[in-house]
Amino acid sequence: MSPTVPAPLNLVGGSWVQAGEPVVDVVDPATGEVVTRIPDTDGAGVDAAVAAAREALADWRTTTPFHRATLLHRLADGVREHRDELVGLVTLEMGKPLREAGNEVDKLADAFDYYAEEAVRVHGETIPNEQHGVTSIVRYEPVGVVGAITPWNYPLELIGWKLAAALAAGCTIVVKPSEYTPSSAVALMALLQPAGFPDGVANLVLGAGVAGRALASHPGLDKLAFTGSTATGAAISRSVAKAMPLSMELGGSCPQVVTASADVDEAVAGCLRRGFRNAGQICIAINRVYVHRSVHREFVEKLTAGVEALTVGPGSKDPDVGPVTNAGIRDRCVAHVQQAVADGARVTTGGAVIDRPGTWFAPTVVDEVPPTTLLAQEETFGPVVGVTPYDTTEEAVALANGTTAGLAAYLYARDLTEVFEIGHALDFGNVAVNNPDAGIMNAPYGGRKGSGHGYEHGREGLFGYLHIKHLRVRYGR
């Protein structure tokens, strides 16, 4: 049974308001059917949300971190209580299989609990002075009003990282979710008031390009947090109204390096999980694999067999792989595979659109991918993995580092010399060795180069919403 889709309303200052005529279709990617329509909030609607956040800031920033922690724990409880509803909405609008949607909602609740605990562990320090009767105190204070623009691939979790850290720090926030997946965001924000959050502390504006541009360039923000494509991140960086902190998690195009000493079965299992989970629609998905020539054929044969065994179907049927979320992703998969083949690569499985209603692309392995082709240079963001053999460690590192991406990389090797030499040489913010999970909640997560700047997760994720103040006091004569 399909979940009940909430009314497409903005949350502004604690009130649910209509932000104009619905003009944007929200589509079930498994069927192609329109499930709801949302407005594209205009500048006046964004102004109202930012003004509400500014009004709420004066009181919220002075609440104790213990009170903020209590409310965040209540919000985590609310997420768990409404788990089935949230899971259903994610699957309906994004296409994610039910198990994966459930994992996302569980991790959303965990994020609220984690930052509730971190809120009470923000410690300043005192610094000795060269003069008697003078002391220096370092304080951490909330940045202020935050704008958050989030994508569709993890429509709740990527809101949660920003919402949890910002509220824990004492900031207020305006969230603009993706136009592809608005309903789960509406359902999440509806849990704020029951948890006890004051009106205006967290606000929601729905929309597409109009709303996104109005929020990103709004002069009333004190910080902007964005997750999305590298191109959009670059455009946002040019559009901000004033000098202010920006945190950006941008595109991945993540490599996997498999050395001659690797456990090939483990490497294949890792690639299956991180290359095809969420239909490859994740910033830290494995996009390109560099395999030592001595184990290349074994790796490709086992990966191909593993991909062919994956089940594909609507997310509501809980397959291994669901549809891709929109036509743009499907068409990019087509373009990347076709160009790779034209450049001399070969498809070992998949490689084509699945002919059914909705937006589908078959899980695909492409072997002998030239390093210069799009599949090896750009983020596909779909269920496609390209494989390239290599001969020397230096060649593998150069290939892995040879794009503008710097978010995550994966290394499979049992030789400790390879683990440390290659692990240190990979120019990425996150490197996972002999496992497919590059991020955990209590460690910093962020990219470098074209993959953005700033951090989420860990204490660093909270400190991204705090200013540092040096208070130097003379108290003696």
Enumerate the active-site residues: 249, 283
Closest CA to 222 of 246, 204, 187: 246
| Rounded Cα–Cα distance for residues 68 and 58 (Å) | 14
| Rounded Cα–Cα distance for residues 460 and 27 (Å) | 36
| DSSP track, 111-143 | HHHHHHHHHTT---EEE--SSTTEEEEEEEEE-
- Range 139-177 burial, b when 16+ CB lie within 10 A, else e: ebebbbbbbbbbbbbbbbbbbbbbbbbbbbbbbbbbbbb
Backbone angles phi, psi at 361, to 5 degrees: -140, 135
Is the alpha carbon torsion for 77, 81, 84, 90 positive or negative?
Answer: negative
CA separation, residue 204 to residues 9, 84, 211 (Å): 8, 22, 11
Closest CA to 289 of 378, 427, 396: 396
Closest CA to 386 of 398, 399, 395: 399
Helix (H) or strand (E) holding 86: helix 83-94
